[in-house]
């Protein structure tokens, strides 16, 4: 199958080459016509993203004004795109740069009527007509008037525009619509996590226009970002200034409240700790010290009072104990009672001394005892009672003061808490004021030196190569591949429907014929009147040697070899095969006779250098003898009988008894008799001759023989008593289909040629 496809492609190689070239040309033109070149302009922007430190500044920050995703949304804002549209005049389209320069002063308004317009100057060059693309006149005027009044645009053409007969065609679009269209055409990628870059791309067929638009958008984008950053910094500065003023007022109010509270509580007890000198521990606060001191004083007064009362109560039943009174601090504080106790002690000592010397009846002893008794029973108890009363009064006073101090002590925590709150207010207000003051100074400095968060890193360059080159290449390759497929498929299809003989399998398989041999193509052969030249070194000579062997083997050994050589149609090369096969038998030493049985238009005599008359028909009609019609040739052992005189009754003569008698006579003279008959489609002649010889050999020409026609004629041969020896394939190419019928180079049978000897060359009929 592969060999057959390859052979069919090679056979139609010029058609295949033409189809491929035509497909390549069509693909090239189609890729240029149907796929317009598309260019991509690219620009890269750098975005300053907030750092982690900036994220901890507080609720009011001076860092990034937009999130990374919001930058992409800003690209489609009218604040970015509308100035670009106006600067590049993208809303005004013309066909030439001259017209664009003429329309440079055209300005559009909010109520623009978009559409296509034609501006025409009259032949005089003084008036103009403005019309739509459909030919509707919308305005007429003279030089100096405003063009577009009532249509949403204004244009005062220069005097140079008013050339007689000049026409300017232009299209107007709403700037907002153009901005929306540009926003839809620009592709942008937001910064990835941790990235700082935005890539802008725009695709179109005008590379210069693309680069200009993208650079305009990028620059305007940066300018708008700078304006936003500047406005943010100014607003933040103003806000911080207001907050700083409020913080200053709050700080002054907190300080005033703390100062007033301390003034109002300056005389009140406090729990502040008294600072101690270095090296000593801090003492307790004065309020607590005074309270506990009064409490101790009250307790001491009570103890002194109770001690004096106990001492007096003991003296009621016995001797007054001076020692019990002397240890009481209050008694020591009373000078009268102390002198009385001292006097009592002295008198008791004097009394004991006198009692040791005198008796109780002694008057001085009695007088002294009476004085001691007065002191013990009257003076000292009276003085002690006075001290007790005084202590009781003082105790009550101390208790009152202690109650007052306790009340004041209970008020100390509330005052301390209030003072602490006021101190905290002052501290917080002071810290907030300090923080706001620092941030205000930072924001004011940032407002002075504002740097936008985004800048153009790589401006757009005019693209040189289209990005859809691969698409154009794909279209070209697709059409080229289709043409190659057609170039391959059409030859295969033509090969399938080709009625002519192309492959040896069609002979051995479809027709059921044995292939006796294949004759290769011999250039320059077959021209009428040319003699056969021989060259033993050619493949054709080897082919006829093989055919000679196969024919002799197929015929067998029963008598001389007698067979008819025919073909299905004209031009199959049967005469060429007949002559050269006869030469092959003659070269082997067989006495060979070649009969030109094609009495209608035989040409064998030309090939062998003989004459046509007298010939076979002359003998059969009785006008010539056998010796007259048999002609020797230039080749040893080879004779021939030409066709003879052309006669209308020729076919009947071939079937006559004279023809059978001639064959019987010739069989006794020659060992090989070959009859070249007319084609099978020429009439009944080949069938008569084949029946006469009993054997036939079919010549089929590659690329010429009609297989269906040959199959039909073979069916007719099958009905006759004819043995078909096989088929000879003529004019086979040196292709893969017939490669097995070729011969190895370098193994030619050669003679040593002497000077003057010229080898014979085979020429094809």
Strand partners, 729: 518, 700
DSSP 449: T
pLDDT tier at 526, thresholds 50, 70, 90? very low
In this predicted model, which residue has the larger pLDDT, 631 or 265?
Answer: 631
What share of the chain in percent tops pLDDT 90?
Answer: 14
Residues 82-120: tens digit of each pLDDT = 899 888 888 888 888 888 888 888 888 888 888 899 999
Model pTM score: 0.50
User: Token pair of 237, please?
Assistant: 């500065």
3-state secondary structure 662-691: HHHHHHCCCCEEEEECCCHHHCCHHHHHHH
Q: Element (H or E) spanning 41, and its range?
A: strand 39-47
Residues 345-385: tens digit of each pLDDT = 877 777 787 778 777 787 777 887 888 788 777 888 888 88
pLDDT of amino acid 674: 94
Q: Give domain limits for the chain.
A: 2-35+468-497, 92-172, 286-410, 504-740
pLDDT tier at 527, thresholds 50, 70, 90? very low
Residues 449-463: tens digit of each pLDDT = 666 677 888 898 888
Residue 535 has pLDDT above 60, yes or no: no
- 344, 324 in Cβ contact below 8 A? no
pLDDT tier at 631, thresholds 50, 70, 90? very high
pLDDT of amino acid 60: 44
Rounded to whole angstroms, the Cα distance separating 98 from 498 reads: 64
- Of 534, 543, 506, 540, the closest CA to residue 702 belongs to 506
In this predicted model, which residue has the larger pLDDT, 654 or 497?
Answer: 654
Residue 504 has pLDDT above 50, yes or no: yes
Q: DSSP for 144-200, please give it.
A: TSPBTTTTTEEB---GGG--TT-EEEEEE--HHHHHHHHHHH-EEEPPPTT--EEEE
Q: Where are the beta strands (DSSP E) in 459-552?
A: 515-520
Residues 435-444: tens digit of each pLDDT = 888 887 887 7
Of the candidate ranges 138-142, 251-255, 491-495, 602-606, the one whose mean pLDDT is the lowest = 491-495
Q: Element (H or E) spanning 458, and its range?
A: strand 454-458
Find which of 240-249, 564-573, 756-765 is predicted with most confidence, using mean pLDDT: 564-573
Residue 199 has pLDDT above 80, yes or no: yes
Q: Mean pLDDT of all residues in the chain? A: 80
CATH class of 504-740: alpha beta
Q: Under DSSP, is residue 393 helix (H, G, I), strand (E, B) or coil?
A: helix
pLDDT of amino acid 579: 93
Find which of 274-283, 315-324, 631-640 is predicted with most confidence, using mean pLDDT: 631-640
User: Token pair of 600, please?
Assistant: 């209608």
pLDDT of amino acid 273: 52
pLDDT tier at 689, thresholds 50, 70, 90? very high
pLDDT tier at 690, thresholds 50, 70, 90? very high
Residue 672 has pLDDT above 90, yes or no: yes
Segment 386-392 shows an average pLDDT of 83
Segment 510-518 shows an average pLDDT of 88
């Amino acid at each position: 199958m592969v060999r057959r496809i390859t052979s069919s492609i090679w056979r139609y190689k010029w058609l295949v080459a033409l189809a491929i070239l035509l497909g390549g040309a069509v693909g090239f033109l189609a890729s240029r016509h149907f796929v317009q070149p598309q260019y991509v302009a690219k620009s890269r922007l750098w975005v300053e993203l907030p750092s982690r430190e900036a994220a901890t500044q507080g609720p009011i920050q001076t860092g990034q004004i937009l999130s990374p995703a919001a930058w992409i949304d800003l690209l489609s804002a009218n604040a970015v795109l509308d100035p670009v549209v106006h600067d590049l005049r993208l809303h005004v389209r013309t066909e030439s740069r001259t017209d664009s320069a003429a329309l440079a002063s055209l300005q559009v308004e909010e109520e623009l009527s978009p559409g296509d317009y034609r501006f025409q100057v009259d032949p005089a060059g003084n008036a103009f007509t403005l019309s739509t693309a459909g030919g509707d006149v919308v305005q007429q005027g003279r030089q100096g008037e405003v063009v577009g009044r009532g249509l949403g645009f204004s244009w005062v053409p220069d005097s140079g525009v008013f050339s007689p007969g000049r026409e300017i065609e232009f299209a107007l679009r709403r700037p907002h619509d153009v901005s929306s269209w540009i926003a839809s055409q620009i592709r942008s990628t937001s910064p990835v996590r941790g990235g700082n870059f935005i890539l802008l791309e725009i695709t179109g067929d005008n590379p210069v226009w693309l680069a200009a638009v993208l650079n305009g958008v990028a620059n305007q984008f940066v300018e708008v970002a700078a304006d936003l950053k500047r406005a943010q910094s100014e607003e933040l500065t103003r806000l911080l200034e207001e907050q700083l003023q409020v913080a200053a007022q709050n700080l002054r109010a907190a300080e005033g409240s703390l100062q007033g509270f301390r003034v109002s509580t300056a005389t009140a007890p406090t729990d502040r700790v008294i600072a101690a000198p270095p090296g000593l521990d801090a003492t307790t606060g004065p309020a607590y010290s005074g309270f506990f001191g009064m409490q101790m004083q009250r307790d001491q007064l009570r103890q002194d009072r109770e001690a004096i009362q106990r001492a007096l109560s003991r003296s009621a039943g016995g001797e007054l104990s001076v020692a019990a009174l002397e240890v009481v601090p209050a008694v020591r504080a009373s000078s009268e009672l102390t002198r009385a106790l001292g006097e009592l002690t002295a008198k008791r000592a004097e009394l004991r001394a006198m009692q040791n010397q005198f008796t109780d009846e002694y008057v001085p002893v009695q007088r002294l005892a009476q004085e001691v008794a007065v002191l013990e029973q009257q003076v000292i108890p009276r003085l002690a009672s006075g001290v007790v009363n005084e202590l009781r009064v003082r105790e009550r006073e101390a208790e009152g003061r202690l109650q007052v101090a306790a009340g004041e002590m209970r008020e100390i925590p509330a005052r301390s808490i209030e003072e602490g709150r006021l101190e905290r207010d002052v501290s917080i207000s002071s810290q907030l004021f300090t923080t706001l003051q620092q941030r205000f100074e930072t924001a004011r400095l940032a407002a002075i030196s504002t740097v936008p968060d985004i800048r153009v890193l790589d401006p757009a360059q005019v693209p040189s190569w289209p990005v859809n080159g691969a698409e154009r290449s794909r279209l070209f390759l697709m059409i080229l591949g289709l043409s190659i497929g057609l170039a391959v498929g059409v030859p295969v299809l033509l090969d399938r429907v080709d009625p002519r003989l192309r492959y040896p399998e069609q002979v051995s398989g479809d027709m059921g014929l044995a292939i006796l041999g294949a004759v290769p193509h011999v250039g320059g052969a077959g021209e009428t009147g040319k003699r056969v030249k021989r060259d033993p070194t050619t493949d054709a000579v080897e082919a006829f040697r093989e055919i000679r062997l196969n024919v002799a083997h197929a015929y067998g050994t029963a008598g001389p070899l007698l067979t008819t050589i025919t073909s299905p149609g004209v031009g199959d090369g049967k005469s060429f095969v007949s002559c050269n096969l006869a030469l092959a038998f003659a070269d082997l030493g067989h006495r060979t006779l070649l009969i030109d049985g094609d009495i209608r238009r035989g040409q064998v005599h030309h090939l062998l250098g003989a004459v046509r008359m007298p010939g076979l028909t002359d003998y059969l009609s009785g006008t010539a003898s056998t010796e007259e019609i048999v002609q020797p040739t230039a080749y040893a052992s080879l004779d021939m009988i030409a066709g003879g005189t052309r006669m209308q009754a020729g076919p009947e003569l071939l079937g006559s008894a004279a023809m059978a008698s001639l064959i019987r006579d010739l069989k006794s003279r020659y060992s090989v008799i070959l009859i070249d008959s007319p084609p099978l489609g020429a009439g009944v002649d080949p069938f008569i001759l084949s029946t006469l010889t009993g054997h036939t050999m079919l010549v089929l020409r590659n690329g010429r023989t009609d297989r269906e026609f040959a199959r039909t004629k073979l069916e007719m041969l099958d009905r006759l008593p004819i043995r078909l020896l096989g088929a000879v394939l003529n004019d086979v190419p040196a292709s893969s289909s017939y490669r097995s019928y070729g011969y190895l180079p370098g193994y030619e049978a050669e003679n040593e040629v002497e000077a003057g000897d010229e080898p014979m060359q085979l020429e094809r009929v």
